[in-house]
Amino acid sequence: MPKRADLRKVLVIGSGPIIIGQAAEFDYSGTQACRALSEEGLEVVLVNSNPATIMTDVEVADRVYVEPLTPEFVEKIIAAERPDGILATLGGQTGLNLALALSQAGALDRYGVELLGTSLETIQNAEDRDRFRTSMLDLGQPVPESHTAERVDDALGVAAGIGYPVVVRPAFTLGGTGGGIAENPDALAAVATRGLMASPIRQVLVERCVLGWKEIEYEVMRDTSGTSITVCNMENVDPMGVHTGDSIVVAPSMTLSDREYQLLRTAALRIIGGLGIAGGCNIQFALDPNSDAYYVIEVNPRVSRSSALASKATGYPIARVAAKIAVGLRLDEIPNRVTGVTRAAFEPSLDYVVVKIPRWPFDKFPTMDRRLGTQMKATGEVMAIGRTFEQALLKAVRSLDLKLDGIRHPSGAHWSAAELERLVTEPNDLRLFAVAEALRRGWTIEDLMAGTLIDRFFIAKIARIVEIESRLSAGSSAVGAAKRAGFSDSAIAAIQGKTEGAVRLGRRSAGIRPVFKIVDTCAGEFPAETPYYYSTYEAEDELPEFRRPRIVVLGSGPIRIGQGIEFDYSTVHAVKALREAGYEAVIINNNPETVSTDFDISDRLYFEPLTMEDVLHVCEREQPVGVLVQYGGQTAINLAGPLDAAGVPVLGTSVTSLDISEDRRKFDALLADLDIERPQGGAVRTIEAARALIRRIGLPVLVRPSYVLGGRGMEIVDDEDAALTAVQAALAADHEYPVLIDRYIGGLEVEVDAIADGESLLIPGIMEHVEAAGIHSGDSIAIFPAQSLPDAIEDYLVLEANLRASRTVPFVSKAVSVPLVQIGTRVMIGDRLADLGYPGVYRLPSPPRVAVKAPVFSMEKLVRAEVALGPEMRSTGEVMGLGADVPAAVRRALIAAGLEVKGDTVLVSLAPRDRIGARALLESFRRLGFRVVATEGTASALRDAGMLADSVDAFDALATGRVGLVINTPTRGRDAARRGFRLRRAALEHRIPCVTSLDTARVIAAALEGSPSDTDVQPLPGPAPH
């Protein structure tokens, strides 16, 4: 069945901003889908509100709309474009929910648009809890006993019938938002309340809990002729009870017999066929470790995080194939591009082991609950490939970029027995390390099986790693065995009390070097030219044919707060520029969710940890002209010095210059030479030095570590004791580098991305932050081009300079329609800006539309996390709003960010310092028709200032359902028990926007006063001419 002839134009829906549970994997799948559809000769229209994506590049689709993913805006796009079909199954839960809303609003019928791929009815049969249960039972598939509930009382009644513990699963949410396990009625009341709130249809499922059963996933594909295949299966190392997004996962399954493998595979095929899915689907099973009994836990009728992982784990491009199926192709008509000779109708066979480990944001949220359960908390993940489980596991740990070179946690030895027991028995981010520590302290495999419910197989593997550690510390010649098991040189060095260099030299002289093998989808059965490699310690290196000079681009590793998808965007653009310039572009990265790790983006992809040792191994094999470290965020920049020292050429800005920008004293000296001012401050390594410095520069001060990543560990403090406590904490977090202390100065903050070649300077424009300095730039609403800057600026300070691609590069590139990264890359390989058309100090003209970047947070996923903004970055993603003027662009950005003000009341609770200044702002809300209510202290202060506001109990006010916006400026400090903290969390739980800076509130008021009914949509313009 060839491509359907009646389809000419297709609208693809993206997934919007990065949030926990919906991350870069949808950029990967959406980009793949757009390309797959273009290949079939279709006109592709794309909508997504997230500028930091490859999919919103104008080259990816025929027309790209950066607009809010709401039914209102998408219907406008449908009206303007009149597509024949709409593809919603590649945009995550956002895409599905949007398709459902469009259909229910009659928009699809109105414009005669067909939903391609899996039908809405099928989606509902899989997603609506009652219908899911019925459809599974109709297909003869067992599901755990469960009932839906729409009220807390109903939930308690259901649980009384099923028996505790129970799992609560809200309908139509992603990443298990609002769900959880309840052991008793009290706990259930709390979990069910949260779950009902989280579900857009106010429905939860209360289900029998199969805690401790094996959790197995199958990735399944089906075409419209009925051919179904499984791409792979995956086994969660953490058994049932921990969300798969928060579990360590291995592919293929390790502990299933063929009988069990086929039992679940056959069930998976029966389910995908019975539901009538056309495309990809993820099915989760719980399998009894002591019998053949199983349950179907969940069916996701779309591509997902798991399908991205499965694609990278096997080389089978699920999203690409799903897109082809959606336009009518059969699996046996779609070529397998890995082998070139086989078809998409086959099942990959793996001759390696893949391990995924989640990356959690606990380092950013000290108050947060680190326990793991059914609600996903990870922001990203890493994947590693090895020929053994141990090797893949240790490579994955290294890839996390948490300064861990193995499963020996630096704090491990200090854990008390009770602490260790808690870390072992309660699922949490440190459990892997705790299991290893327990083994070192003499726990048996059986003890740990009982304590963790983790399968014997995995515990025995960890025990084997621990055993190699002890052989290494006994000084025996276990280095070869350790390398084969995946140990890094630095881990061996630490155990043997040597330097990393000495270990490296020793093993190299013993001939212990890695080889690289190919991921080929077929376990060696067919010749494959796939440029997709992993390292291992075996005999044969599958050497590629090197054709042209090569340049290695370092990726940025897992998505985390402060280092997100923006860097993947830059990595992909760098590769594009290098290939166009005639180089072979080589990527090293370890994030399975992203576009950069799609094997056909680069000339060669190495799925490896981004550590000095692993990168050097690739460089030794590739012998590149040079390495680009500027696009992989702080992860890659940190490798510049060591690579340079090892003789690997670092392209672009010299390592000396990079060092000046990162070294406080050198940077100060440079600025002094240039006669540029910066806030007073300095670098300290001791408390005494910190005290002296603070007394010299005065309070308040900003305290942070040298090598910053999204402002981790940054704090603004206005008394000396608190400042010294913060210094102490920062010193403890990083022993290698000093702590930076700056005088904190409020004011307008602006930011410039620029490209220089030593002669010329290209400035795309200046971006203005809405929130005053002190709130991390990544969490600020930003306006491009800057609106409030005078023509001649006389009084300014430089805060910092980052000599690498920043987080804002994709946003600015899209705002000005110029691919900045590609220009930067051309400069790094020797081109002159003047020759590229940007001579002298070249400032790009202002674009026709104002662009606004708004941050998006995932706070509802992060129980007990602080909502208020500060110098530490907290947002997980961003959206872009475009408009004719600032209010229009801001309003669109707010809608896209989910910050629409809906009620008729504004609730205000302000820190004393803000109360007087807020009057004009509150008057403007009143003019807009809002009722302004305030907490007692704020109300009385406002009264004193001549403004009447009703004094209310904040929590009662939130419960009325009329509050549309909470304005709460926090008093400084981190005390989680404070009333303000609870108020902010409560607002979040009621899904009411809560802003913690008056600047944010002002821009919201201005946007509401602006052009409220503007919903015109425009595609991004093509590349700007110059």
Partner 1 sequence: MIGPRAYLILEDGAVFEGTRIGAPVEAAGEVVFTTSMTGYQEVISDPSYRGQIVVMAAPLIGNYGFNPQAWEARGPHVRGFVVREACEVPSHYLSREPLDEFLAGHGIAGLTELDTRRLVRHLRIHGLKRGMISGSADQSTIDRVRDLPELHEQDLVGEASCKEPIVIPGDGPRIALLDCGVKLGIIDALRRRGCEVHVLPHTTGPEAIAAFEPGGVLLSNGPGDPAVLNSVVATVRDIIDNIPVMGVCLGHQLLALAVGGRTYKMKFGHRGSNQPVLDQLTGRVMITTQNHGYAVDPDTLPSSVEVTHVNLNDGTIEGLRHRHLPVFSVQFHPEGRPGPHDADHLYDEFLDAIGVRTEVTHAEAR
Closest CB 590 distance from partner 1, rounded Å: 20
How far is residue 993's CA from residue 1008's CA, in Å, rounded to a whole number?
14
Closest CB 230 distance from partner 1, rounded Å: 8
Q: Which is nearer to partner 1, 278 or 949 (CB)?
A: 278
Closest CB 34 distance from partner 1, rounded Å: 26
Exposure on the CB side of residue 59, measured as CA atoms within 13 A: 9
3-class SS at 256?
Answer: coil
How far is residue 711's CA from residue 166's CA, in Å, rounded to a whole number?
39
455 binds partner 1 (CB under 8 A): yes
CA 744 to chain centre: 30
Quick one: CA dihedral 167, 168, 173, 174, positive or negative?
A: negative
- Site residues for partner 1, 210-229, by CB under 8 A, read 225-227, 229
| Residue choice 40, 150, 347, 668 for contact with partner 1 (CB under 8 A) | 347
Which one-letter DSSP state was computed for residue 334? S
Closest CB 516 distance from partner 1, rounded Å: 11
| Residue choice 28, 389, 583, 930 for contact with partner 1 (CB under 8 A) | 389
In this structure, the chain runs to a length of: 1026
| Residue choice 6, 540, 545, 675 for contact with partner 1 (CB under 8 A) | 540
390-413 burial string, b = 16+ CB within 10 Å, else e? bbbbbbbbbbbbbebbbbbbeebe
For residue 555, which of 541, 566, 544, 540 has the smallest C-alpha distance?
Answer: 566
| Residue choice 2, 200, 524, 698 for contact with partner 1 (CB under 8 A) | 524
Contacting range for partner 1; rule: CB under 8 A; set: 130-138, 348-356, 400-408, 963-971: 348-356
For residue 287, which of 457, 455, 459 has the smallest C-alpha distance?
Answer: 455
How far is residue 631's CA from residue 828's CA, in Å, rounded to a whole number?
12
- Which structure tokens are listed for 898? 């989910």
Q: Which is nearer to partner 1, 316 or 606 (CB)?
A: 316
DSSP letters of 798-809? -----SS--TTH
CB 717 within 8 A of CB 726: yes
Q: Which is nearer to partner 1, 284 or 391 (CB)?
A: 391
For residue 465, which of 537, 413, 393 has the smallest C-alpha distance?
Answer: 393
For residue 764, which of 722, 807, 809, 730 has the smallest C-alpha distance?
Answer: 809
949-981 burial string, b = 16+ CB within 10 Å, else e? beebebeebbeeebbbbbbbbbeeeeeeeeebb
| Residue choice 111, 526, 707, 955 for contact with partner 1 (CB under 8 A) | 526
Contacting range for partner 1; rule: CB under 8 A; set: 32-40, 454-462, 655-663, 793-801: 454-462
Q: Which is nearer to partner 1, 387 or 507 (CB)?
A: 387
342 binds partner 1 (CB under 8 A): yes
How far is residue 441's CA from residue 691's CA, in Å, rounded to a whole number?
41
| Residue choice 124, 224, 367, 388 for contact with partner 1 (CB under 8 A) | 388
| Residue choice 525, 620, 835, 1016 for contact with partner 1 (CB under 8 A) | 525
3-class SS at 383?
Answer: strand
3-class SS at 491?
Answer: helix
Stretch 400-439: interaction string toward partner 1, x if CB under 8 A: ----------------------------------------
348 binds partner 1 (CB under 8 A): yes
63 binds partner 1 (CB under 8 A): no
Q: Which is nearer to partner 1, 347 or 900 (CB)?
A: 347
| Residue choice 11, 155, 331, 432 for contact with partner 1 (CB under 8 A) | 331
CA 814 to chain centre: 20
509 binds partner 1 (CB under 8 A): no
For residue 521, which of 317, 255, 266 has the smallest C-alpha distance?
Answer: 317
Q: Which is nearer to partner 1, 289 or 366 (CB)?
A: 289
| Residue choice 527, 649, 747, 1012 for contact with partner 1 (CB under 8 A) | 527
Q: Within a 10 A sphere around the Cβ of 346, how many other Cβ atoms?
A: 16
330 binds partner 1 (CB under 8 A): yes
How far is residue 95's CA from residue 322's CA, in Å, rounded to a whole number?
15
477 binds partner 1 (CB under 8 A): no
| Residue choice 164, 457, 707, 955 for contact with partner 1 (CB under 8 A) | 457
Contacting range for partner 1; rule: CB under 8 A; set: 287-295, 664-672, 704-712, 883-891: 287-295
Contacting range for partner 1; rule: CB under 8 A; set: 37-45, 518-526, 692-700, 795-803: 518-526
Closest CB 528 distance from partner 1, rounded Å: 10
| Residue choice 79, 293, 341, 841 for contact with partner 1 (CB under 8 A) | 341
For residue 29, which of 288, 229, 323, 247 has the smallest C-alpha distance?
Answer: 323
Exposure on the CB side of residue 494, measured as CA atoms within 13 A: 13
Closest CB 544 distance from partner 1, rounded Å: 14
Q: Within a 10 A sphere around the Cβ of 442, how many other Cβ atoms?
A: 7
Q: Which is nearer to partner 1, 94 or 230 (CB)?
A: 230
| Residue choice 121, 351, 688, 936 for contact with partner 1 (CB under 8 A) | 351
Q: Which is nearer to partner 1, 265 or 604 (CB)?
A: 265
Q: Which is nearer to partner 1, 339 or 996 (CB)?
A: 339
How far is residue 667's CA from residue 576's CA, in Å, rounded to a whole number?
33
512 binds partner 1 (CB under 8 A): no
How far is residue 818's CA from residue 1024's CA, in Å, rounded to a whole number?
6
Q: Which is nearer to partner 1, 347 or 426 (CB)?
A: 347
| Residue choice 111, 346, 362, 737 for contact with partner 1 (CB under 8 A) | 346
345 binds partner 1 (CB under 8 A): yes
Closest CB 717 distance from partner 1, rounded Å: 52
Q: Which is nearer to partner 1, 543 or 792 (CB)?
A: 543
- Site residues for partner 1, 252-271, by CB under 8 A, read 252-259, 261-263, 265-267, 269
Closest CB 280 distance from partner 1, rounded Å: 16
517 binds partner 1 (CB under 8 A): yes
Place of tokens 């009652």: 130
- Which structure tokens are listed for 194? 């949260």
**Segments of 267-420 assigned E as strands:** 279-287, 294-300, 353-359, 380-386
Exposure on the CB side of residue 930, measured as CA atoms within 13 A: 27
| Residue choice 350, 394, 503, 947 for contact with partner 1 (CB under 8 A) | 350
* Residue 220 β-bridge partners: 230, 281
Q: Which is nearer to partner 1, 317 or 633 (CB)?
A: 317
Q: Which is nearer to partner 1, 260 or 603 (CB)?
A: 260
Q: Which is nearer to partner 1, 287 or 1017 (CB)?
A: 287
Place of tokens 């947070």: 857
Q: Are strands 9-13 and 85-87 parallel, antiparallel or unpaired?
A: parallel
Place of tokens 């649980």: 159
Cα-flanking dihedrals φ and ψ of residue 109, to 5°? -65, -45
Binding-site size, partner 1 (CB under 8 A): 57
Contacting range for partner 1; rule: CB under 8 A; set: 386-394, 412-420, 424-432, 615-623: 386-394
- Site residues for partner 1, 816-855, by CB under 8 A, read none
Q: Are strands 761-763 and 841-843 parallel, antiparallel or unpaired?
A: parallel
How far is residue 940's CA from residue 946's CA, in Å, rounded to a whole number?
10
Closest CB 464 distance from partner 1, rounded Å: 8
Closest CB 232 distance from partner 1, rounded Å: 9
- Which structure tokens are listed for 632? 């992989």
By the criterion CB under 8 A, which residues form the site for partner 1? 225-227, 229-230, 252-259, 261-263, 265-267, 269, 289-291, 330-332, 341-343, 345-353, 387-389, 445, 455-457, 460, 517, 522-527, 538-540, 542
